[in-house]
Every structure is written in C-alpha cells, then in structure tokens.
Amino acid sequence: MDYGLPYSIVPPLKFNTVQQDVYRGAYPREINFPFLQSLQLKTIISLTPQPITPETDGKLYQFSKDNNIQLIHIECEKSGKGKKRGVPLGYTAVLTAINYIIHTQHAPIYIHCLNGGQVTSLLVACLRKLQFWSSLTIFNEFINFTTNITVNDRSFVDNFQGDIMVDPGYKVEWLWNGMSRGVVNGHPKLKIHHKGEI
C-alpha cells in the first residue's frame, strides 16, 4: 500500500536514533507512516496501556501488517500514573524490551510510548546502563526528551537490575563495542548470561 510521497515524509514527534537500527519517538500517527516505511522496520515495540489491534488502532495495525512489521506490546501505565516504584513500568517490562533491542533478528526497531517522553526514556536509560554509560551521560540524554527527571525516575534507573540473556549469534555489534568479556560479565548491577554457556 502507498502511504505517501517522499515530500510528505514526517517523523513521529520526538523521533531520534538510539543506536544503529534502533529508533525512538512518540505514538505513530498516519502522517508518520511514510517515514516509518522508509526505515524498513521489522519490529515496533509499544510501551502503552493498550496493545495495537484492529479495534484500538486499525490504521497502525494495518500499516504494520502491510509492511511485515511485528507488533510487540509491553504494557505500561500512562506517564505519572504508575504505582510500582513511582514510575509507569517495571524491570520485567524493561528486560523484555531490551531482549528484543539487543538482538539483530528484530532490527530495525521503533520504540514508542504515548508521547515519546518519560516511558521511552526510562527504557533507553536502562539500555544505556547495560552499555556501561555513566549516570551523568544517561540523564543528560534523558532530559532531551522529557521536561524533567523525577526522583523516582533516577531511582528506577540507578537501581535497575536483572538477568540479561544474550545470544552471541544475534547480538547487535554496538552493545559493548570494544569491551572484553570479563568487563561485560562483571557488570555491577546486571547478570549477563551468554546463550549456550549455561
């Protein structure tokens, strides 16, 4: 299906590149479909209260179907409405999303929440923590997409922990560029497992 001419390409609000073949932004609208089509996406990760279905958003659902894009829904509360840890998502949701992001078979990926702000920023901040970014650098990136960082946001990212399963055959090249296996396995907060080595 033709979703528009090149001159009508409009990216979603707060669109940006996270890493090679990983993009972020706000909830896609129909005007954004030509732009998203140009990215040749394989996966859209929706950090939203409701999944994208024919009933909730028939146009985005059909666009994804027409372009063979896998829709992944990770349930989150609306920004500011979360009960756990004072943020709209939990560590299980973050770990689930990261599993898609760090493996090449799902790329290119577009990650979005409702407005491209707090929820997406929390996920990206946790990804940066996995990449050994410093807290200062993580939160400098964070404030580019949100009006402010709450104490709860900082605490959520600072305390992010869990188990990450990495399939070496599909790991994205940018994840730990130039780092030795010893450094990666010694991550201060996250337990890194390599598939086939357990």
Neighbouring residues of 127: CB distance < 8 A, sequence distance ≥ 6: 18, 98, 101, 102
Q: Residue 186's CB: how many other CB atoms inside 10 A?
A: 9
Measured in degrees and rounded to the nearest 5, phi and psi for residue 48 equal -140, 165
**Catalytic residue set:** 113
User: What local confidence, expressed as pLDDT, does residue 4 receive?
Assistant: 54
Alpha-helical segments (H) within 5-113? 33-38, 58-66, 91-101
First to last CA, the chain: 45
User: What local confidence, expressed as pLDDT, does residue 148 receive?
Assistant: 85
Peptide bond between residue 108 and the one before it cis (omega within 30 degrees of 0): yes
| Nearest partner of 127 among 162, 78, 75, 85, judged by Cα | 162
User: What local confidence, expressed as pLDDT, does residue 167 receive?
Assistant: 93
Dihedral angle, C-alpha 188, 191, 195, 198, nearest 10 °: 120
User: What local confidence, expressed as pLDDT, does residue 178 receive?
Assistant: 83
Domains, the chain:
6-161 (3.90.190.10)
Task: Tell how strand 162-166 and strand 16-19 pair up.
Answer: unpaired
pLDDT tens across the length of the chain (198 residues)? 555 555 568 999 999 999 999 999 999 999 999 999 999 999 999 999 999 999 999 999 999 999 999 999 999 876 544 444 578 899 999 999 999 999 999 999 999 999 999 999 999 999 999 999 999 999 999 999 988 889 999 999 999 999 999 999 999 999 998 888 889 899 988 999 988 765
pLDDT in tens, 80-89: 444 445 788 9
User: What local confidence, expressed as pLDDT, does residue 124 receive?
Assistant: 98
